[in-house]
Structure 1
Amino acid sequence: MSENMVLQVEGLCFAYPECGVLDQWSAALPAGLALVRGDESSGKTTLLRLLAGELTAQAGRITLQGVNARETPKAYAQQVFWADPRSGDLDQLTARGWLGSLPARYPSWDAAALAVHTEGFSLHEHLDKPFYALSTGSKRKVLMAGARASGAPLTLIDEPVGGLDKPSAAYLGRALAQVASQPGRVVVVAHYEALPGVPWGTVVELHG
Protein backbone atom coordinates (compact mmCIF):
# COMPACT_ATOMS: atom_id res chain seq x y z
CA MET A 1 0.00 0.00 0.00
CA SER A 2 1.25 3.45 -0.84
CA GLU A 3 2.52 5.25 2.27
CA ASN A 4 0.30 8.21 1.33
CA MET A 5 -2.88 6.16 1.50
CA VAL A 6 -4.79 5.72 4.75
CA LEU A 7 -7.35 3.24 3.39
CA GLN A 8 -6.86 0.73 0.59
CA VAL A 9 -9.68 -1.43 -0.77
CA GLU A 10 -8.85 -4.11 -3.33
CA GLY A 11 -11.24 -6.32 -5.31
CA LEU A 12 -14.17 -6.00 -2.91
CA CYS A 13 -17.13 -8.23 -3.77
CA PHE A 14 -20.44 -8.27 -1.93
CA ALA A 15 -23.92 -9.49 -2.78
CA TYR A 16 -27.15 -9.92 -0.88
CA PRO A 17 -29.15 -13.06 -1.68
CA GLU A 18 -31.48 -11.03 -3.88
CA CYS A 19 -28.94 -8.82 -5.65
CA GLY A 20 -25.29 -8.00 -6.20
CA VAL A 21 -23.87 -4.74 -4.87
CA LEU A 22 -20.10 -4.55 -5.40
CA ASP A 23 -18.07 -6.51 -7.95
CA GLN A 24 -14.27 -6.24 -7.76
CA TRP A 25 -14.54 -2.72 -6.31
CA SER A 26 -11.26 -1.03 -5.46
CA ALA A 27 -10.25 2.38 -4.11
CA ALA A 28 -7.26 4.03 -2.44
CA LEU A 29 -8.10 6.93 -0.12
CA PRO A 30 -5.55 9.40 1.26
CA ALA A 31 -6.06 11.45 4.41
CA GLY A 32 -8.84 14.00 4.13
CA LEU A 33 -12.43 13.93 2.98
CA ALA A 34 -13.89 11.31 0.68
CA LEU A 35 -17.41 11.40 -0.74
CA VAL A 36 -19.20 8.21 -1.75
CA ARG A 37 -21.89 9.45 -4.10
CA GLY A 38 -24.77 7.53 -5.63
CA ASP A 39 -28.51 7.35 -6.05
CA GLU A 40 -30.89 5.51 -3.74
CA SER A 41 -30.06 1.77 -3.52
CA SER A 42 -26.68 2.23 -5.21
CA GLY A 43 -24.88 0.55 -2.30
CA LYS A 44 -23.59 3.56 -0.33
CA THR A 45 -24.66 2.33 3.11
CA THR A 46 -23.62 -1.23 2.30
CA LEU A 47 -20.13 0.00 1.43
CA LEU A 48 -19.87 1.90 4.72
CA ARG A 49 -20.98 -1.20 6.63
CA LEU A 50 -18.34 -3.25 4.83
CA LEU A 51 -15.65 -0.68 5.64
CA ALA A 52 -16.84 -0.69 9.26
CA GLY A 53 -16.57 -4.46 9.50
CA GLU A 54 -20.30 -4.77 10.19
CA LEU A 55 -20.72 -6.79 6.97
CA THR A 56 -18.24 -9.32 5.60
CA ALA A 57 -17.33 -9.22 1.93
CA GLN A 58 -17.37 -12.40 -0.14
CA ALA A 59 -13.97 -11.43 -1.55
CA GLY A 60 -11.46 -8.64 -1.42
CA ARG A 61 -9.12 -6.90 0.98
CA ILE A 62 -9.56 -3.82 3.17
CA THR A 63 -6.43 -2.34 4.75
CA LEU A 64 -6.41 0.65 7.10
CA GLN A 65 -3.01 2.10 7.97
CA GLY A 66 -1.45 -1.30 7.36
CA VAL A 67 -4.08 -3.22 9.38
CA ASN A 68 -6.00 -5.87 7.43
CA ALA A 69 -9.70 -6.04 8.30
CA ARG A 70 -10.05 -9.77 7.66
CA GLU A 71 -6.79 -10.93 9.27
CA THR A 72 -6.92 -8.74 12.41
CA PRO A 73 -10.55 -7.63 12.78
CA LYS A 74 -10.23 -6.45 16.38
CA ALA A 75 -7.25 -4.21 15.67
CA TYR A 76 -9.00 -2.91 12.56
CA ALA A 77 -12.25 -2.15 14.42
CA GLN A 78 -10.34 -0.11 17.02
CA GLN A 79 -9.42 2.36 14.27
CA VAL A 80 -12.93 2.82 12.85
CA PHE A 81 -15.81 5.06 13.88
CA TRP A 82 -19.22 3.95 12.62
CA ALA A 83 -22.66 4.62 14.09
CA ASP A 84 -25.61 3.79 11.84
CA PRO A 85 -28.18 6.61 12.11
CA ARG A 86 -30.96 4.16 11.18
CA SER A 87 -30.13 1.68 13.95
CA GLY A 88 -32.07 1.50 17.19
CA ASP A 89 -29.15 0.02 19.13
CA LEU A 90 -28.59 3.24 21.09
CA ASP A 91 -32.24 3.99 21.80
CA GLN A 92 -32.09 3.40 25.56
CA LEU A 93 -28.93 5.47 26.06
CA THR A 94 -28.89 9.20 26.58
CA ALA A 95 -26.84 11.28 24.18
CA ARG A 96 -24.58 12.31 27.07
CA GLY A 97 -24.13 8.72 28.22
CA TRP A 98 -23.19 7.52 24.74
CA LEU A 99 -20.76 10.38 24.13
CA GLY A 100 -19.24 9.74 27.56
CA SER A 101 -18.50 6.14 26.58
CA LEU A 102 -16.46 7.05 23.51
CA PRO A 103 -13.14 8.25 25.04
CA ALA A 104 -12.45 4.73 26.34
CA ARG A 105 -12.79 3.35 22.82
CA TYR A 106 -10.91 5.97 20.81
CA PRO A 107 -7.33 6.76 21.91
CA SER A 108 -7.29 10.00 19.90
CA TRP A 109 -10.54 11.27 21.41
CA ASP A 110 -10.67 15.08 21.43
CA ALA A 111 -12.80 16.45 24.28
CA ALA A 112 -12.25 20.02 23.13
CA ALA A 113 -13.56 19.12 19.67
CA LEU A 114 -16.65 17.56 21.23
CA ALA A 115 -17.34 20.78 23.14
CA VAL A 116 -16.99 22.79 19.92
CA HIS A 117 -19.32 20.51 17.96
CA THR A 118 -21.85 20.32 20.80
CA GLU A 119 -22.07 24.10 20.62
CA GLY A 120 -21.98 24.23 16.83
CA PHE A 121 -24.82 21.73 16.48
CA SER A 122 -26.81 23.31 19.37
CA LEU A 123 -26.92 20.01 21.24
CA HIS A 124 -26.90 21.16 24.87
CA GLU A 125 -30.65 20.86 25.34
CA HIS A 126 -30.65 17.32 23.92
CA LEU A 127 -27.78 15.73 25.83
CA ASP A 128 -29.89 14.19 28.59
CA LYS A 129 -32.54 12.80 26.26
CA PRO A 130 -32.48 9.12 25.29
CA PHE A 131 -31.84 8.48 21.62
CA TYR A 132 -35.38 7.22 21.06
CA ALA A 133 -36.68 10.67 22.07
CA LEU A 134 -34.45 12.55 19.63
CA SER A 135 -35.63 13.77 16.24
CA THR A 136 -33.95 12.36 13.15
CA GLY A 137 -31.87 15.51 12.80
CA SER A 138 -30.87 15.70 16.46
CA LYS A 139 -29.82 12.04 16.48
CA ARG A 140 -27.64 12.60 13.44
CA LYS A 141 -26.08 15.67 15.04
CA VAL A 142 -25.15 13.72 18.18
CA LEU A 143 -23.63 10.93 16.09
CA MET A 144 -21.67 13.39 13.96
CA ALA A 145 -20.38 15.26 17.01
CA GLY A 146 -19.07 11.95 18.31
CA ALA A 147 -17.65 11.06 14.91
CA ARG A 148 -15.73 14.31 14.56
CA ALA A 149 -14.36 14.12 18.11
CA SER A 150 -13.38 10.45 17.88
CA GLY A 151 -10.13 11.06 16.03
CA ALA A 152 -10.58 7.61 14.44
CA PRO A 153 -8.29 7.04 11.43
CA LEU A 154 -11.36 5.90 9.46
CA THR A 155 -14.57 7.80 10.22
CA LEU A 156 -17.74 6.79 8.37
CA ILE A 157 -20.76 9.09 8.10
CA ASP A 158 -23.96 8.11 6.30
CA GLU A 159 -26.40 10.65 4.78
CA PRO A 160 -25.30 13.45 7.13
CA VAL A 161 -27.90 16.11 6.33
CA GLY A 162 -31.02 13.99 6.87
CA GLY A 163 -33.35 15.98 9.12
CA LEU A 164 -30.87 18.83 9.67
CA ASP A 165 -32.01 22.44 9.80
CA LYS A 166 -30.17 24.97 7.65
CA PRO A 167 -27.87 26.35 10.39
CA SER A 168 -26.82 22.82 11.37
CA ALA A 169 -26.23 21.83 7.73
CA ALA A 170 -24.06 24.93 7.29
CA TYR A 171 -22.11 24.09 10.46
CA LEU A 172 -21.65 20.52 9.23
CA GLY A 173 -19.99 21.83 6.08
CA ARG A 174 -17.55 23.90 8.12
CA ALA A 175 -16.84 21.03 10.50
CA LEU A 176 -16.11 18.65 7.63
CA ALA A 177 -13.86 21.19 5.95
CA GLN A 178 -11.63 21.17 9.03
CA VAL A 179 -10.87 17.48 8.43
CA ALA A 180 -9.29 18.13 5.04
CA SER A 181 -5.95 19.11 6.59
CA GLN A 182 -5.79 16.38 9.28
CA PRO A 183 -2.95 13.91 8.63
CA GLY A 184 -3.52 10.19 8.99
CA ARG A 185 -7.30 10.38 9.03
CA VAL A 186 -9.87 9.82 6.29
CA VAL A 187 -13.52 10.73 6.76
CA VAL A 188 -15.81 8.93 4.31
CA VAL A 189 -19.23 10.51 3.80
CA ALA A 190 -22.00 8.77 1.86
CA HIS A 191 -24.52 11.08 0.21
CA TYR A 192 -26.38 11.43 -3.07
CA GLU A 193 -24.65 14.69 -3.91
CA ALA A 194 -21.65 16.78 -2.91
CA LEU A 195 -22.26 19.15 -0.01
CA PRO A 196 -21.59 22.74 -1.11
CA GLY A 197 -18.38 24.32 0.08
CA VAL A 198 -16.83 21.08 1.34
CA PRO A 199 -13.33 20.44 -0.07
CA TRP A 200 -13.65 16.79 -1.07
CA GLY A 201 -10.28 15.20 -1.66
CA THR A 202 -11.76 12.09 -3.28
CA VAL A 203 -15.15 11.46 -4.89
CA VAL A 204 -16.25 7.89 -5.51
CA GLU A 205 -19.27 7.15 -7.68
CA LEU A 206 -21.50 4.14 -7.05
CA HIS A 207 -23.98 3.18 -9.74
CA GLY A 208 -25.70 0.21 -8.14
Structure 2
Amino acid sequence: MSESVVLQVEGLCFSYPECGVLEQWSAALPAGLALALGDESSGKTTLLRLLAGELTAQAGRITLQGTNPGEDPKAYAQKVFWVDPRSGDLDTLTASGLLDSLSVRYPLWDAAALDAHIEGFALHEHLHKPLYALSTGTKRKVFMAGALASNAPLTLIDEPVGGLDKPSIRYLAQALASQATRSDRLIVVAHYETLVDVPWGSVVDLVRR
Protein backbone atom coordinates (compact mmCIF):
# COMPACT_ATOMS: atom_id res chain seq x y z
CA MET A 1 0.00 0.00 0.00
CA SER A 2 1.34 3.42 -0.96
CA GLU A 3 2.40 5.63 1.94
CA SER A 4 -0.12 8.27 0.79
CA VAL A 5 -3.04 5.82 1.01
CA VAL A 6 -4.80 5.67 4.37
CA LEU A 7 -7.55 3.23 3.40
CA GLN A 8 -7.17 0.41 0.87
CA VAL A 9 -10.22 -1.62 -0.14
CA GLU A 10 -9.74 -4.56 -2.49
CA GLY A 11 -12.45 -6.65 -4.14
CA LEU A 12 -15.13 -5.99 -1.53
CA CYS A 13 -18.29 -8.06 -2.00
CA PHE A 14 -21.43 -7.83 0.09
CA SER A 15 -25.04 -8.79 -0.44
CA TYR A 16 -28.17 -9.09 1.65
CA PRO A 17 -30.43 -12.13 1.09
CA GLU A 18 -32.80 -10.00 -0.97
CA CYS A 19 -30.25 -8.05 -3.05
CA GLY A 20 -26.61 -7.47 -3.88
CA VAL A 21 -24.92 -4.25 -2.78
CA LEU A 22 -21.19 -4.29 -3.57
CA GLU A 23 -19.45 -6.52 -6.07
CA GLN A 24 -15.66 -6.49 -6.37
CA TRP A 25 -15.58 -2.91 -5.05
CA SER A 26 -12.12 -1.42 -4.67
CA ALA A 27 -10.73 1.97 -3.69
CA ALA A 28 -7.49 3.52 -2.51
CA LEU A 29 -8.23 6.65 -0.47
CA PRO A 30 -5.63 9.13 0.79
CA ALA A 31 -5.93 11.31 3.88
CA GLY A 32 -8.36 14.21 3.78
CA LEU A 33 -12.01 14.25 2.85
CA ALA A 34 -13.82 11.62 0.78
CA LEU A 35 -17.45 11.67 -0.35
CA ALA A 36 -19.34 8.43 -0.92
CA LEU A 37 -21.99 9.72 -3.31
CA GLY A 38 -25.15 7.84 -4.18
CA ASP A 39 -28.93 7.80 -4.33
CA GLU A 40 -31.24 6.02 -1.90
CA SER A 41 -30.50 2.27 -1.73
CA SER A 42 -27.16 2.68 -3.52
CA GLY A 43 -25.27 1.10 -0.61
CA LYS A 44 -23.80 4.16 1.10
CA THR A 45 -24.67 3.15 4.66
CA THR A 46 -23.76 -0.48 4.01
CA LEU A 47 -20.34 0.63 2.78
CA LEU A 48 -19.77 2.67 5.94
CA ARG A 49 -20.82 -0.26 8.13
CA LEU A 50 -18.38 -2.52 6.28
CA LEU A 51 -15.57 0.00 6.69
CA ALA A 52 -16.46 0.31 10.38
CA GLY A 53 -16.24 -3.45 10.87
CA GLU A 54 -19.91 -3.59 11.89
CA LEU A 55 -20.67 -5.80 8.88
CA THR A 56 -18.45 -8.54 7.48
CA ALA A 57 -17.96 -8.73 3.72
CA GLN A 58 -18.43 -12.01 1.88
CA ALA A 59 -15.15 -11.36 0.08
CA GLY A 60 -12.45 -8.73 -0.16
CA ARG A 61 -9.99 -6.99 2.10
CA ILE A 62 -9.96 -3.68 3.99
CA THR A 63 -6.66 -2.24 5.22
CA LEU A 64 -6.48 0.92 7.33
CA GLN A 65 -2.97 2.17 8.04
CA GLY A 66 -1.73 -1.41 7.90
CA THR A 67 -4.52 -2.81 10.10
CA ASN A 68 -7.17 -5.26 8.91
CA PRO A 69 -10.50 -5.67 10.77
CA GLY A 70 -10.53 -9.44 10.24
CA GLU A 71 -7.02 -9.99 11.57
CA ASP A 72 -6.97 -7.51 14.47
CA PRO A 73 -10.51 -6.21 15.14
CA LYS A 74 -9.61 -4.49 18.42
CA ALA A 75 -6.74 -2.48 16.95
CA TYR A 76 -8.86 -1.67 13.90
CA ALA A 77 -11.80 -0.49 16.01
CA GLN A 78 -9.58 1.99 17.87
CA LYS A 79 -8.78 3.66 14.55
CA VAL A 80 -12.37 4.00 13.34
CA PHE A 81 -15.17 6.32 14.42
CA TRP A 82 -18.65 5.18 13.49
CA VAL A 83 -22.04 5.83 15.06
CA ASP A 84 -25.16 5.00 13.08
CA PRO A 85 -27.36 8.12 13.36
CA ARG A 86 -30.49 6.01 12.89
CA SER A 87 -29.73 3.64 15.74
CA GLY A 88 -31.40 3.98 19.12
CA ASP A 89 -28.85 1.85 20.95
CA LEU A 90 -27.32 4.85 22.74
CA ASP A 91 -30.53 6.75 23.39
CA THR A 92 -30.54 6.33 27.18
CA LEU A 93 -27.24 8.22 27.44
CA THR A 94 -27.21 11.97 27.82
CA ALA A 95 -25.38 13.91 25.13
CA SER A 96 -22.55 14.71 27.56
CA GLY A 97 -22.46 11.11 28.75
CA LEU A 98 -22.02 9.89 25.19
CA LEU A 99 -19.25 12.40 24.51
CA ASP A 100 -17.50 11.47 27.76
CA SER A 101 -17.57 7.80 26.76
CA LEU A 102 -16.10 8.63 23.35
CA SER A 103 -13.25 10.59 24.92
CA VAL A 104 -12.20 7.44 26.77
CA ARG A 105 -12.52 5.21 23.70
CA TYR A 106 -10.42 7.25 21.27
CA PRO A 107 -6.75 7.75 22.22
CA LEU A 108 -6.30 10.80 19.96
CA TRP A 109 -9.38 12.60 21.33
CA ASP A 110 -9.17 16.42 21.06
CA ALA A 111 -11.03 18.07 23.95
CA ALA A 112 -10.41 21.59 22.60
CA ALA A 113 -11.89 20.59 19.24
CA LEU A 114 -14.95 19.17 21.01
CA ASP A 115 -15.51 22.50 22.79
CA ALA A 116 -15.32 24.30 19.43
CA HIS A 117 -17.81 21.90 17.83
CA ILE A 118 -20.23 22.18 20.76
CA GLU A 119 -20.12 25.94 20.28
CA GLY A 120 -20.36 25.75 16.49
CA PHE A 121 -23.33 23.37 16.55
CA ALA A 122 -25.02 25.29 19.43
CA LEU A 123 -25.19 22.19 21.63
CA HIS A 124 -24.62 23.67 25.11
CA GLU A 125 -28.29 23.70 26.09
CA HIS A 126 -28.73 20.06 25.03
CA LEU A 127 -25.77 18.40 26.75
CA HIS A 128 -27.75 17.34 29.83
CA LYS A 129 -30.57 15.77 27.81
CA PRO A 130 -30.86 12.06 26.97
CA LEU A 131 -30.39 11.34 23.28
CA TYR A 132 -33.96 10.04 22.96
CA ALA A 133 -35.22 13.52 23.91
CA LEU A 134 -33.27 15.26 21.14
CA SER A 135 -34.54 16.12 17.69
CA THR A 136 -33.12 14.20 14.73
CA GLY A 137 -30.91 17.13 13.79
CA THR A 138 -29.60 17.78 17.30
CA LYS A 139 -28.82 14.11 17.83
CA ARG A 140 -26.87 14.10 14.56
CA LYS A 141 -24.95 17.19 15.66
CA VAL A 142 -23.92 15.47 18.91
CA PHE A 143 -22.65 12.47 16.95
CA MET A 144 -20.78 14.68 14.48
CA ALA A 145 -19.20 16.75 17.25
CA GLY A 146 -17.89 13.48 18.68
CA ALA A 147 -16.80 12.25 15.27
CA LEU A 148 -14.82 15.36 14.48
CA ALA A 149 -13.24 15.51 17.96
CA SER A 150 -12.30 11.83 17.96
CA ASN A 151 -9.32 12.34 15.65
CA ALA A 152 -9.88 8.75 14.55
CA PRO A 153 -7.71 7.94 11.50
CA LEU A 154 -10.87 6.77 9.73
CA THR A 155 -13.97 8.79 10.59
CA LEU A 156 -17.28 7.76 9.01
CA ILE A 157 -20.25 10.13 8.83
CA ASP A 158 -23.58 9.11 7.28
CA GLU A 159 -26.08 11.58 5.79
CA PRO A 160 -24.73 14.52 7.80
CA VAL A 161 -27.33 17.20 7.12
CA GLY A 162 -30.52 15.30 8.01
CA GLY A 163 -32.58 17.58 10.24
CA LEU A 164 -29.90 20.30 10.44
CA ASP A 165 -30.69 24.00 10.32
CA LYS A 166 -28.82 26.26 7.87
CA PRO A 167 -26.32 27.69 10.42
CA SER A 168 -25.38 24.13 11.46
CA ILE A 169 -24.94 23.08 7.82
CA ARG A 170 -22.63 26.05 7.29
CA TYR A 171 -20.66 25.17 10.41
CA LEU A 172 -20.38 21.54 9.33
CA ALA A 173 -18.94 22.61 5.97
CA GLN A 174 -16.38 24.80 7.76
CA ALA A 175 -15.47 22.03 10.22
CA LEU A 176 -15.00 19.50 7.43
CA ALA A 177 -12.98 21.96 5.34
CA SER A 178 -10.61 22.47 8.27
CA GLN A 179 -9.74 18.76 8.08
CA ALA A 180 -9.12 18.65 4.33
CA THR A 181 -5.34 19.01 4.51
CA ARG A 182 -4.77 16.50 7.31
CA SER A 183 -2.11 13.95 6.40
CA ASP A 184 -3.01 11.51 9.19
CA ARG A 185 -6.77 11.24 8.93
CA LEU A 186 -9.45 10.28 6.42
CA ILE A 187 -13.04 11.43 6.87
CA VAL A 188 -15.56 9.58 4.69
CA VAL A 189 -18.97 11.22 4.37
CA ALA A 190 -21.88 9.39 2.73
CA HIS A 191 -24.47 11.64 1.13
CA TYR A 192 -26.75 11.87 -1.90
CA GLU A 193 -25.19 15.13 -3.14
CA THR A 194 -22.05 17.18 -2.68
CA LEU A 195 -22.04 19.74 0.11
CA VAL A 196 -21.33 23.35 -0.81
CA ASP A 197 -17.89 24.68 0.20
CA VAL A 198 -16.49 21.29 1.20
CA PRO A 199 -13.19 20.60 -0.64
CA TRP A 200 -13.52 16.87 -1.29
CA GLY A 201 -10.23 15.20 -2.04
CA SER A 202 -11.92 12.03 -3.29
CA VAL A 203 -15.41 11.30 -4.59
CA VAL A 204 -16.62 7.71 -4.84
CA ASP A 205 -19.76 7.24 -6.95
CA LEU A 206 -21.99 4.40 -5.84
CA VAL A 207 -24.29 3.26 -8.61
CA ARG A 208 -27.96 2.98 -7.71
CA ARG A 209 -29.19 -0.63 -7.80
TM-score exceeds 0.5: yes
String of CA shifts for 1:40-62, please: whole Å, max 9, x gaps. 00000000000000000000000
2: CA distance between counterparts of 1:120 and 1:3?
34
Counterpart for residue 180 of structure 1: 180
- Residue pairs, 1:2-151, within 5 angstroms: 2-151=2-151
Structure 2 gaps of 5+ residues are none
- Output one character per residue of 1:114-142: Cα deviation in whole Å (capped at 9) or x when no partner: 00000000000000000000000000000
Aligned length: 208
**Following superposition, which runs of at least 4 residues in structure 1 exceed 2 angstroms of deviation?**
none
Partner of 2:164: 164
Alpha-carbon distance in structure 1 between the residues aligned to 2:26 and 2:113: 32
Task: Tell me the C-alpha RMSD between the 2 structures.
Answer: 0.5
Asked if 1:193 corresponds to 2:193, the answer is: yes
Secondary structure of the residue aligned to 2:114 is: helix
- Residue of structure 1 equivalent to 2:204: 204
Q: Quick one: distance in 1 between partners of 2:104 and 2:168?
A: 28
Query: For residues 138 and 189 of structure 1, what CA distance do their matches in structure 2 show?
Result: 18
- Stretches of structure 1 that go unaligned for 5 or more consecutive residues are none
Task: Look up the equivalent residue of 2:33 and give its one-letter code.
Answer: L
TM-score (norm 1): 0.99
Whole-angstrom distance in 1 between the partners of 2:183 and 2:105: 20
One-letter amino acid of the counterpart of residue 189, structure 1: V
Whole-Å separation in 2 of the counterparts to 1:163 and 1:202: 25
- Give the superposition deviation at 1:71: 1.0
The answer to which of 71-80 and 133-142 deviates more is 71-80
Percent identity of paired positions between Structure 1 and Structure 2: 77
1:177: Cα distance to partner? 0.3
Q: CA deviation at 1:73?
A: 1.1
d(CA) in 2 for partners of 1:170 and 1:102?
25
